Amino acid sequence: MARRATVIGSGPNGLSAAVALARAGYEVRVLEAASTAGGGVRTANLTLPGFRHDVGSAVHPAALSSPFFRAFGIHERVGWIHPLASYAQPLDGGRAAIAWRDLERTADALGRDGRTWRAVLRPLSSRLGGVVDFTGSQLLRWPRHPITAARFGLRTLQLGTRLGRGTFETEEANALLAGVLAHANTPLPSIGAAASGLFLAAHAHSADGWAFPRGGAQTIADALVADLRAHGGVVETGVRVETLDGLEWGDPDAGDLLLLDTTPRLLLTHPHLPARYAQALRHYRYGQAVAKVDFALDGPVPWAHPEVALAPTVHVGGTREEIEAGENAVARGGMTERPYVLTVQPSVLDGTRAPEGKHVLWTYIHVPAGSTFDPTQVIVRQIERFAPGFRRHILASHATTAAQRAADNPADIGGDILGGAFTLAQAFRRPVVSRTPWRTPLRGVYLASAATPPGPGVSGMPGWLAARQALRDRRGGERLELEDLFGS
């Protein structure tokens, strides 16, 4: 009888783990609480017929550089759009800073900060593989590209403290950096935000840039599900697992496995979890949340600076000082009238997302965990600041509060979409300090979510690394590589 594996959660990490195990010969069953597979990479009609909105993530810089997805062939299985401008930062007075995929074009536009922008990012974007290797599994090991890792680490330390505020002189360069650092949803400046921001900024100037899939994020999940089914696996939707007590998932003594693409808190429901490990999980911190609004528009966003329309991702927040003030207010449990708004306008390059001539706009702000605040009006006002007349283009909108997100997806504690606070401490303790953080003390049970290294992002790596750890344990320490599953 073939060994069996059960995976709880069908986000990109759960599906990546499932694909790896199915290709390794396991009978795999994936249990998903929602009505469709995909977790954070789903696409749905949220506003009006014909308007396709990404439910979770919308742009995926880490997907095309991910070792797992590269081996899986995500470049060929999914159609990708590579914008000339990775992201934009509008400023008052019709000004803007643009992070073009072309690093030289970006630096030239930054004037006297261009030389510094090149010095910070060229060594990282030109050696992106080394950055991905250093950040892509866990920090408790010697990096395979030590010089790149050292550069990344030193720049993180530089930009993650108040001393780093003197790195750039112009409002444009400071805002361009602050907008990408704010993705981390953590106080600014901080080491965690700097690490996250540098990782993303390095991708912005890479060959792929901040690519996104034609047709929406769902295409990533669909490709993984198709491969899983081709290797005998199944996905069961509408199955919500709220406790491990009494869950029938197989016989660990026979080599059966249980992988959790969930919050570590689900492990606390197991009756035999060792007390010391349980205590460590209780000390694992969750971060601030997001409140999201999707818009159906009768035309493109009327940005005051025309080149902002060329960037699918737009960081709406004004200057560095404004962005930092807004993010730090959220970290203290409050809000500002001018928040940092992360926006994605995929339909400017992807005509499949809305009826002809129409557009979709994906937006969210950071809010305190568990917030019931509907951000629709504050987001509209902030976009109007840089795109006068935006309100007149709105046909419909759909808001999801942090509390609603937490209720819809048990893995998003309080509406935290990052799987836990993204801090320096939790880069090492994710969710525990260990050289094998995917393995739990429960025989045959592994964590495969963003709460394990390398953390958040659509990379599939936490799922793959959990599956590899499980297979290695079952094979007496024999190391499995991606080439063993997908070929060279």
Sign for the pseudo-dihedral over CA of 76, 81, 82, 88: negative
Cis peptide leading into 300, omega within 30 of 0?
A: no
Q: What angle do CA 327, 331, 333 make, to 5 degrees?
A: 115
Q: Please give the DSSP secondary-structure letter assigned to residue 439.
A: B
- Other CB atoms within a 10 A radius of the CB of residue 404 amount to 17
Q: Provide the residue ranges of all domains of the chain, joining segments of one domain with +.
A: 4-42+217-284+418-486, 67-212+287-408
Looking at 3.50.50.60, 3.40.190.10, 3.40.720.10, 3.30.750.80, the CATH number of the domain 4-42+217-284+418-486 comes to 3.50.50.60
Token pair in block for residue 241: 């697992």
CB 221 within 8 A of CB 16: no
Residue 1 has a CB neighbour count (10 Å cut-off) of 5
CA 297 to chain centre: 25
482 token code pair: 């991606």
Distance CA 434, CA 40 (A): 26
Q: Supply the pLDDT for residue 304.
A: 98
Residues 439, 272: Cα–Cα separation, whole Å = 15
What pLDDT is recorded for position 237?
Answer: 98
Q: Strand pairing of 80-81 and 394-400?
A: unpaired
461 exposure class (CB count in 10 Å sphere: 0-12, 13-18, 19+): buried
Query: Helix, strand, or coil here: 137?
Result: coil
Strand partners, 433: 429
Both tokens of 452, joined, read 């394990």
pLDDT at 428: 85
Residue 386, burial from CB neighbour count under 10 angstroms (0-12, 13-18, 19+): buried
pLDDT 10s digit of each residue in the chain, 488 long? 679 999 999 999 999 999 999 999 999 999 999 999 999 999 999 999 999 999 999 999 999 999 999 999 999 999 999 999 999 999 999 999 999 999 999 999 999 999 999 999 999 999 999 999 998 766 656 788 899 999 999 999 999 998 888 999 999 999 999 999 999 999 999 999 999 999 999 999 999 999 999 999 999 999 999 999 999 999 999 999 999 998 888 888 788 999 999 999 999 999 999 999 999 999 999 999 999 999 999 999 999 999 999 999 999 999 999 999 999 999 999 999 999 999 999 999 999 999 999 999 999 999 999 999 999 999 999 999 999 999 999 999 999 999 999 999 989 999 999 999 988 889 889 999 999 999 999 999 999 999 999 999 999 999 999 999 999 999 887 888 999 999 86
| 152 neighbors 131 (Cβ within 8 angstroms) | yes
What is the chain's Cα-based Rg?
Answer: 22
Q: Which fold has domain 67-212+287-408?
A: Polyamine Oxidase; Chain A, domain 2 (3.90.660)
Edge-to-edge strand list for the sheet holding 289-297: 95-100, 85-91, 313-316, 341-344, 359-367, 289-297, 394-400
Other CB atoms closer than 10 Å to residue 17's CB: what's the count? Answer: 33
Taking the model in full, what pTM does it have? 0.96
